[in-house]
């Protein structure tokens, strides 16, 4: 299957599952291919034939974007090396969960979450420690008795009951022994960290020297600026005036702004259009700074000339211009 066909199939699957899907990020370099939202769940999706092409720099960028946009970074791919990805398994690359198209279909269309995750040493499942302990106590078995039945140590059984995950073989042996389900699904949206202890969110890259002037304006206006390296936008700016602990309403787009900056060329217009599409899905605003343009906006992205920026009196004036020109269309 060609990559174009794979991207088309995954996009159609997400739309069938009720997601609003952004325009494809058809530019390079790019950390993700589409943004998609369903209700409160926002995902940033990278789509690959071979997931070995997913490198550390891209993984770090996706994880940073996930933090800034309150989104789940996700890779959907067909194979690794010469082997197809197994169904019902969550893999990890550079801290980002990876699913096969079949696993994604089950999760998003059939509402059947995966039960297995891959980690160094093999495939593992979540053991519900409370259920295991209840089953053991109902039989009046000691930890040692159960350990002997399964062929592990007493300490290992104790760890299972405390929440440690188990290999597929051990989980199957326990469920066969008790004739009861003991495993719980992998929560791709909220529970990934419970089964994969990733490193803290990677540090931000330095801003491109060509962007420093524009980004400094946002900083003076009360925004915290997060530079990017592999995205359609040069930075994600979050409005600190709104307060770090404020719970943002789904329709409030003022406190996160996707930011671009260049001469207003055909390529810049394309980037601005993609930024607007992503902003529509991610519930953000977007702005593109240019030297000269006869347009005030491009598909929901505000266009602001540098001369205008220099003439703005205060931070609120900048916010108001972005609000007026970005013409938000609330995502479903």
Are the CB atoms for 202 and 64 separated by under 8 Å? yes
Query: What's the rounded Cα separation, in Å, for the pair 269 and 272?
Result: 5
Output the pLDDT for position 242. Answer: 53
Query: What's the rounded Cα separation, in Å, for the pair 55 and 65?
Result: 16
Closest CA to 296 of 276, 267, 282: 276
CA 168 to chain centre: 27
Measured at the alpha carbon of residue 34, what is the angle toward residues 73 and 31, in degrees to the nearest 5?
A: 60
CA 256 to chain centre: 16
Are the CB atoms for 218 and 244 separated by under 8 Å? no
Output the pLDDT for position 239. Answer: 81
Provide the whole-model pTM. 0.87
Query: What's the rounded Cα separation, in Å, for the pair 252 and 298?
Result: 20
Q: How many CB atoms lie within 10 A of CB 292?
A: 9
DSSP H stretches of helix in the chain: 3-16, 56-69, 101-108, 129-138, 143-150, 154-161, 168-178, 192-195, 212-220, 266-282, 306-311, 315-326
Output the pLDDT for position 196. Answer: 47
pLDDT tens for each residue of the chain, 332 residues long: 788 899 999 999 999 999 999 999 988 878 999 999 999 999 999 999 999 999 999 999 999 999 899 999 999 999 998 799 999 999 999 989 999 999 999 999 999 999 999 988 889 998 999 999 999 999 999 999 999 999 999 999 999 999 888 999 999 999 999 998 998 888 888 655 544 445 667 888 888 888 888 888 888 888 899 999 999 999 999 887 654 444 444 445 558 999 999 999 999 999 999 999 999 999 999 999 999 988 999 999 999 998 888 777 777 888 889 989 986 544 43
Query: What's the rounded Cα separation, in Å, for the pair 257 and 209?
Result: 20
Query: What's the rounded Cα separation, in Å, for the pair 314 and 289?
Result: 17
Q: 223: helix, coil or strand?
A: strand
Query: What's the rounded Cα separation, in Å, for the pair 74 and 96?
Result: 6
Are the CB atoms for 90 and 186 separated by under 8 Å? yes
Query: What's the rounded Cα separation, in Å, for the pair 225 and 230?
Result: 16
> Is-cis flag, bond preceding 64, omega within 30?
no
């Amino acid at each position: 299957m060609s990559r174009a066909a794979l991207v088309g199939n995954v996009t159609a699957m997400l739309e069938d599952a009720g997601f609003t899907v952004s325009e494809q990020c058809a530019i390079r370099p790019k950390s993700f291919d589409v943004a998609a939202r369903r209700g409160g769940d926002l995902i940033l999706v990278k789509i690959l034939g071979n997931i070995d092409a997913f490198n550390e720099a891209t993984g770090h960028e996706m994880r940073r974007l996930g933090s800034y946009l309150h989104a789940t970074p996700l890779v959907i791919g067909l194979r690794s090396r010469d082997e197809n990805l197994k169904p019902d398994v969550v893999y990890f690359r550079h801290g980002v969960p990876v699913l096969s198209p079949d696993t994604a279909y089950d999760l998003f269309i059939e509402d059947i979450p995966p039960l297995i995750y891959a980690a160094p040493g093999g495939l593992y499942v979540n053991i519900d420690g409370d259920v295991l302990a209840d089953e053991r106590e109902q039989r009046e078995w000691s930890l040692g008795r159960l350990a002997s039945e399964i062929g592990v140590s007493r300490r290992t059984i104790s760890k299972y009951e405390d929440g440690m995950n188990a290999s597929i073989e051990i989980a199957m042996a326990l469920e066969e022994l008790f004739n009861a389900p003991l495993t719980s699904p992998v929560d791709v949206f909220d529970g990934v960290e419970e089964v994969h202890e990733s490193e803290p969110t990677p540090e931000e890259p330095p801003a491109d020297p060509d962007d420093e002037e524009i980004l400094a304006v946002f900083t003076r206006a009360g925004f915290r600026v997060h530079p990017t390296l592999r995205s359609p936008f040069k930075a994600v700016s979050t409005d600190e005036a709104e307060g770090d602990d404020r719970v943002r309403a789904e329709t409030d787009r003022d406190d996160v702004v996707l930011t671009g900056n260049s001469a207003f060329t055909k390529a810049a217009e394309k980037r601005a259009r993609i930024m607007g599409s992503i902003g529509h899905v991610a519930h953000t605003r977007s702005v593109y700074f240019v030297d000269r343009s006869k347009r005030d906006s491009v598909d929901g992205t505000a266009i602001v000339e540098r001369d205008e920026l220099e003439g703005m009196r205060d931070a609120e004036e900048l916010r108001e211009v972005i609000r007026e020109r970005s013409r938000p269309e609330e995502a479903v």
